[in-house]
Structure 1
Amino acid sequence: MKKVFFFFSVAALAVSCVSNPEGDKAETKDAVATGVAEGDKLAVDPAGSSITWLGKKVTGQHTGTINLHSGELIVSEGKLAGGSFTIDMATLNNKDLTDPEYKGKLETHLKSDDFFAVEKYPTSKFEITEVKHLDNGKIAVAGNLTLRDATKNITYEADIIESSATKFAAKADFNINRKDWGVAYEGMKDDLISDEINLKINLVAIK
């Protein structure tokens, strides 16, 4: 009986030690219908934009990047009104591991069916469904995020860097719960992985 109690105590301790990355969690709900926004069309600049991810586990954390593939934003009277962008999941990489072998193993695992199944789902997409301009100068962006074969609507706040008829730039920092998109791999029993992933997005679009 003591051994059984000890086993469950250790297991509970392992679970409790898995903390999520710092960051506000995006509000998540079922996907909603997308409307048609009107205004100036700006092309997303993949070279000037970036997505940085961070995930934690009991023994540490890993971080890396994913490239944007393409996209289009709609700006009306100098304010963001809609748009979408596509993410190239094949570019998912790790930035903190220096050993090529371990770096390669992690990237291969993240692209496998345990995580993002990149061979089956080579791209992800975010489609804006609503933009609210807040009193604090930020914007609340809601949109349908598609990862793997699941689509959920998320809302997060973003800081506007520039917003005009010829250029839009903004940055956001938020967490999503990967399990909402069916990414349910728990990790090793003694090295569990946090449910939430932190995303830092710098988005630039130009005329």
Structure 2
Amino acid sequence: MKAVKLFASIVFAALFINVAVADKGKKSVALNVDTKGSKIHWLAKKVTGQHEGNINIANGSLTVDGGKVTGGNFTIDMKSIVCTDITDAGYNQKFISHITTGDFFEVEKFPTAAFKITKVVGETITGDLTIKGITKSVTFPAKISVKGTAATATASIPVDRTDFGVKYGSKKFFDQIGDKAIEDIFTLDVTLVAGK
């Protein structure tokens, strides 16, 4: 009788462990990025001033496990880029036409850019950023919040455009450019909102 009880106890314990492991596996969920609630603001500087604007997020997801963001990705619609600080309509159109050509982001050939999280340590994110078909690893601090089946992440990501083949107006490649120089680093302020 004792042997039967012992056997039953072992079987019960094994079932309990299997269920617990299965439940643990179910905690990892992919939350879809809300493309309307999410946004990217860009800022680029030059010797004589700066320009800024917005770019749309086409799609993406954040992976949440145990109440923490552990992974994710998003796609940027490069054709949606706008400049918000140039008020003259004609000049604004000329500016956008220029930065979407081969001198800068060549959006007809590369209509999207992308970011994929490869590691999250505390509130530091490392991931692969792809622009113009070139992928580079970038690391930056982020503010991350997970509440139930909703997650938000905000970050300011400095990007060296020359790493992605965007050399126009860079002092690295044009020594005598003077006050027409454009800074190599531009900033992407990203806000991701994701949920079920």
- What TM bracket, shorter-length normalisation? 0.7 to 0.9
Higher helix share: 2
1:39 to 25, 28, 41: 28
1:158 aligns with one of 139, 142, 150: 142
Confirm or deny that 1:174 pairs with 2:157.
yes
What SS is found at the alignment partner of 1:42?
strand
The two structures have a TM-score, normalised by structure 1, of 0.76
Please show how residues 189-204 of structure 1 align to structure 2 within 5 Å.
189-204=178-193
Q: Does 1:78 align with 2:67?
A: yes
Among 130, 135, 142, the residue aligned to 2:126: 142
Q: Distance in 1 between matches of 2:178 and 2:101?
A: 19
Aligned length: 164
Mark the runs of 5 or more structure 2 residues left unpaired by the alignment: 1-26, 171-176
Residue 172 of structure 1 and its aligned partner are, at CA, apart by 0.8
Say if 1:76 and 1:165, in contact at 8 Å, map to a contact too. no
The residue identity in structure 2 corresponding to 1:151 is T
**Partner SS state of residue 109, structure 1:** helix
The aligned amino acid for 1:152 is K
1:105-140: per-residue Cα shift (whole Å, max 9, x none)? Answer: 11111100011110000001101100011xxxxx11
Are 1:84 and 1:125, in contact at CA under 8 Å, matched by a contact in 2?
yes
- Please report how far the alpha carbon of residue 165 of structure 1 lies from its aligned counterpart in structure 2 after TM superposition: 4.0
Structure 1 residue 58, shift from structure 2 partner: 1.3
Question: Residue 102 of structure 1 aligns to a residue in which SS?
Answer: helix
RMSD: 1.3
Does the 8 A contact of 1:75 with 1:165 survive in 2? no
Offset of residue 174 of structure 1: 3.0
Q: Which has the larger radius of gyration?
A: 2
Instruction: Give the equivalent residue in structure 2 for 1:120.
Output: 109
Q: Post-superposition, which runs of at least 4 consecutive aligned residues in structure 1 deviate over 3 A?
A: 187-190
Identity of aligned residues (%): 44
Helix, strand or coil: the match of 1:106?
helix
Q: Does 1:62 align with 2:42?
A: no
Distance in 2, matches of 1:41 and 1:176, equals: 27
Listed one character per residue, the Cα deviations across residues 37-94 of structure 1 (whole Å, up to 9, x for unaligned) are: x811100011001100111111110000100000111100110011111000000110
| Aligned amino acid, residue 45 of structure 2 | K
**Unaligned regions of 5+ residues in structure 1, if any?**
1-37, 134-138
CA distance in 2, matches of 1:118, 1:62: 19
User: What does residue range 106-117 of structure 1 map to in structure 2 within 5 Å?
Assistant: 106-117=95-106
* AA matched with 1:93: V
Hey, what's the Cα distance between the residues in 2 that align with 1:70 and 1:102? 30
Give the aligned partner of residue 4 of structure 1.
none
